[in-house]
Structure 1
Amino acid sequence: MTTLADPVPGGRPGDVARAAALSGELSGRGVHGIVLSYVDTAGIGRVKTVPTAKLPAVAARGVGMSPVFDTFLAHDAIVTTDVLGSPDGDLRLFPDLEQLVALAAQPGWAWAPVDRITQDGTRHPGCSRTVLRRVVADAAERYGLEFRAGIEIEWVYGRGDTPCDTFVPATTGPAYGATRQVEVSACTAELLAALAAQGVDVDQLHPEYAPGQFELSVGALDPVAAADRSVLVRQTVRAVAQRHGLRVSFSPAVTPGTVGNGGHVHLSARRDGVGLHSGGDRRHGMTADGESFTAGILARLPALLAVTAPSPASYLRLKPSRWAGVFTAWGLETRECAVRVIAGAAGDRDREANVEVKPVDLAANPYLALACLIAAGVDGLARNAVLPPEVTGDPALLTQEEAAALGVARLPESLPQAVEAFRADPVLREALGPVLADAVTAVREGESAAVDGWDEERIAAAYRWTY
């Protein structure tokens, strides 16, 4: 389970003793170093590493790292806010020991997500993992809610023997085809073995639509652990691929004009152990609170895109009729809708019913994405928000009159449009807090300015191997 308490100087109760035991255990298994992992505002995984023997000291005192990374862009340029972006100051990285795991595809290494606190021992307002934990705790305290989440992982395999700026698919088989599975079967079998060794519960792994594309779905967890797992799975996918001479891209748009890589989020809410999206008398078995929670997410999608689709490359993926969910539309298991209500199979609906949010990709910081989605849903529940009429089929085929009657509108078609909506959204900004919300705005504006005037091919190439 996820550690629910914030780190403190000297270590949380029991952490130092636990770290000492883990250090000895891992050293005995040939693990020499610990990867301390977090995700920055731009969605880039950042790390520091320490020798395994230092783990008890790290649990007590943390590891120093600059707060400037909160305003790094994806390509390492730095922007500033009134609080962040200067060379001043330091933070402490504290690992969540409950999530520490030896990396099966990186012999000699273990991995742990971190929370970041200030030198004075207070929460760092830019730490997205801490913010997500706070949002989840607040929903539990105020509304008695608990959540389960899962993030789908899509990527492409590219050949590793090609020039570093190019993409040549490592498979030639058709979408969802058995041929494609055979072509990389040794790599994907090792991937499944590595994930199993790391305690990752895989639901399915299959070829996807775009050239060289695969998708992996994992079991649902509490939101913080689900975000941790998304980071760990991607680290493992990349490490296994490298061992097989392949390159991996999680970029939203590896090549323009084709279906991109998504990171769809599945989210369910429960109260007193009972799901809000099944067993009710509202549409498709939702309870009144379940419908309002879903309506809250749908209503804030334009602003949410600044967090769930945060890269200029994201908008090369967000095109109509590509199952990316680019309209303010919801429906029952309708893959063109931005919000897809999944009722689940008969007999399992109390366990499986959930909401899938489709305009999400893996350039997103998963902690930020889940924090904002939950905040939007909880706001809808608090307001008793009502869902508009549902949509069947492809919303892109609706006439203007039909779309207006259903409340269907195009979501932002560019990152600047999404940022404008985010800047005006009080619920999302309050959920993140002013420091982190301003960092989101500054980083997105920096990314947009960096590619101003570029065509789609140049944007796709610039971000192809970044994520």
Structure 2
Amino acid sequence: MSVTDSLTPADPVNALLDGGLRMLITSMVDNAGITRAKTVPAARVRAAVRDGIGLSPVFALMCTDDAITTSPLVNGPVGDNRLMPDLRSVAPLGPDRRVYWAPADQMSQDHEPVDICQRSALRRQEERAVAAGLEVKLGFELEFTVFSGDADDPRVATIGPAYGVLAALKIENFAVELLEALDAAGVPAEQLHPEYAQGQVEVALPPASPLAAADQSQLARLVVHRVARAHGLLVSFAPITVAGFVGNGAHIHFSASLGGRPFGDEGGPSEHGRQLMAGVLGELDGLTGVLAPSVISADRRVPGNWAGAFACWGPENREAALRYVPGSVTSRPGSANFEIKIGDPSGNAYLSAASVLAAALNGLEQKAVLPDGLDRDPVTYPEAERPPRLPLTLEDALTALERSEVIRAALGDAIVEPFLAVRRHDAESLGELSLEARVRALRWRY
């Protein structure tokens, strides 16, 4: 539920101003997975919502190092789009309700959706799912690293133990204020806990419709950064933040009912659930290029990291790319879902969700057959029986994306081609560096 839902105002802008808004941040996520923003003062909010805010189409070609690459489908610096704040998803970034955030759609100057808009791509797939009779819910789990010190000399804020109460107590004040800020933003955390690596924290967000879930993931990241700064801390959502440490994931939990039938049944995934999972399983190589597309993503996606290194699924199997989660006996079958473990925070959440949804829908339409799940760690199988590894390099993942008819049809060439250009620029400019140098280059980009 958004803030405007709870206010039910006749005029949402007046409701926001009366509620204390002094500044509105509106943002989009580009093909480098970086959030780019425009900010307006209170006096300009109504004009921004009505007219939009100018945004060059060349933002589709901005890279993680802020260089601008090229693509035949984007006419360089020529042209202008409008960044249109969506007040249906507006939210305060803290309990004081002075600074608000709203996601934005990219529109033409005639206020029509443009084909490079990543948020619109997800909306199209959500509408396709609704037309198929599905009620899809996605839930994002976001991992991040908390640092003390400054950006030039960062030090992890906790030194373990992994999942330990001592680590939780070390960041207690930050954690409490973060939970309060997430509540105020309308994104109450389902869990918040120290993770495996030193300084690593995970926050689990509530399930929501696909577009709302992607919006929530972006909002939560902004709130985390904002609260951390107030406590003199730094946060990074980069896939790897310290070379040699387990990296950060951005896992997506997926469930869908069909005609009132839940995703799971007492024996595992339902019939339509198996078809949806089979669709995602069949597109995993190409999905890797969307969900884990940075120059350090493949370094995280190795066996033993619970990062989905193998193209397989299994009940509660955290080493499989797809983990089927039946849920507690007290909540089955309504809580059943599957977790997509290959993603990391360098991906664009809108493109990730759109691509996963497109793959799942293709499985449903084709009545795809889900193979048997794996009941143990894939690496323990004899080599001849072991499932294939997902792409071992960024270029292999991007090539698989480039060749995926399912993902290309869902996103469109106007998104896929600039996306490939941006990620290949990163591979060329950073790919030959050491892991430590690549980690340093991306640590404060996310």
**Structure 1: distance between partners of 2:167 and 2:238:** 20
**Alpha-carbon distance between aligned partners in 2 of 1:97 and 1:26, rounded to the nearest angstrom:** 10
Select between 391-400 and 320-329 the one with higher mean Cα deviation. Answer: 391-400
Listed one character per residue, the Cα deviations across residues 286-317 of structure 1 (whole Å, up to 9, x for unaligned) are: 22221011011011111111100010121121
TM-score by length of 2: 0.95
Contact 2:163 2:193 in 1 (8 A): yes
Q: Which residue of 2 aligns with 1:188?
A: 175
Shift of 1:373: 0.3
SS of residue paired to 1:428 = helix
- Name the CA distance, whole Å, in 2 between partners of 1:122 and 1:461: 39
List runs of 5+ in structure 1 lacking aligned partners.
4-13
Contact conserved, 1:156 with 1:249, CA < 8 A, in 2?
yes
Following the alignment from structure 2 to structure 1, what is the Cα–Cα distance between the partners of residues 169 and 189?
19
- Encode CA deviations 1:28-76: one digit per residue, 9 max, x unaligned: 3432111011101110001101122322222221111111111111111
Corresponding position of 1:288: 271
Q: Take 1:2 and 1:415, find their aligned partners in 2: how far apart are those partners? A: 37
Q: Does 1:155 align with 2:141?
A: no
The answer to whether 1:214 aligns with 2:193 is no
- 1:330-386 alpha-carbon deviations (Å, 9 max, x no partner): 000111110001111113123211110000011110000000001011111111111
- Figure out how many residues of one structure are paired with residues of the other and give that number: 444
Seen in structure 2, the aligned counterparts of structure 1 residues 20 and 58 have a Cα distance that, compared at 3 Å, is: farther
Summarize deviations over 1:219-272 as a string: whole Å, max 9, x none.
Answer: 100000000000000100011010111000111011222210000000111222
Asked if 1:243 corresponds to 2:230, the answer is yes
**2:127 pairs with 1:137:** yes
SS of 1:202's equivalent in the other structure is coil
User: Which one of 205, 210, 216 corresponds to residue 229 of structure 1?
Assistant: 216
Give the superposition deviation at 1:85: 5.6
When residues 171 and 85 of structure 1 are mapped into structure 2, their CA distance, relative to the original with a 3 A threshold, is farther
Structure 1 pair 426–213 and aligned structure 2 pair: CA distance change class (3 A): same
Give, as a single letter, the amino acid of the residue that structure 1 aligns with 2:241.
V
- Alignment-mate amino acid for residue 436 of structure 1: I
Aligned residue for 2:320, secondary structure, equals coil
The residue type paired with residue 463 of structure 1 is L
Q: Indicate the larger mover: 24-33 or 42-51.
A: 24-33
Q: Say whether the 8 Å CA contact 2:301–2:307 is kept in structure 1.
A: yes
Aligned to 1:310: 293
Query: Contact 1:19 / 1:55 at 8 angstroms: preserved in 2?
Result: no
TM-score (norm 1): 0.91
Describe the shift of the 1:106–1:248 C-alpha distance in structure 2 as closer, same or farther (beyond 3 A). farther
Which of 414, 421, 429 is residue 435 of structure 1 equivalent to? 414
Letter in structure 2 aligned against 1:145: L
Residues 291 and 131 of structure 1: CA distance in aligned 2, closer, same or farther (over 3 Å): same
Identity of aligned residues (%): 39
Does the 8 Å CA contact 1:71/1:85 hold for their aligned counterparts? no
CA distance in 1, matches of 2:347, 2:431: 20
Secondary structure of the equivalent of 2:156?
coil
Per the TM alignment, residue 392 of structure 1 is displaced from its structure 2 partner at its CA by 2.0
Partner of 1:117: 107
Q: Distance in 2 between matches of 1:393 and 1:167?
A: 38
Q: C-alpha offsets along residues 144-198 of structure 1, whole Å, 9 cap, x if unaligned?
A: 1121001101111101x34x23431111231111111111100110001111111
Give the superposition deviation at 1:93.
1.4
Number of the residue aligned with 2:282: 299
Deviating runs (4+, > 6 A) in structure 1? none
Question: Among 36, 49, 55, which residue is 2:45 paired with?
Answer: 55
Query: Pairwise mapping of residues 358-373 of structure 1 onto structure 2 (< 5 A)?
Result: 358-373=341-356
1:2–1:96 contact (8 Å) kept in structure 2 = no
Determine which of 317, 323, 333 is the counterpart of 1:334: 317
Q: Which of 252, 257, 263 is matched with 2:244 structurally?
A: 257
Q: 1:279 to 1:392 in 2, by over 3 A?
A: closer
1:454 CA drift (Å): 1.2
Determine if contact 1:210/1:259 at 8 Å carries over to the other structure.
yes
Equivalent residue, structure 2, for 1:414: 393
Deviations 1:399-448 (A, max 9, x none): 21221xxxx10101111010111111111000001111111211111111
> Does structure 1 conserve the Cα–Cα contact (< 8 Å) formed by 2:298 and 2:392?
yes
What pairs with 1:65-84 in structure 2 (closer than 5 Å)?
65-84=55-74
Q: Distance in 2 between matches of 1:441 and 1:106?
A: 41
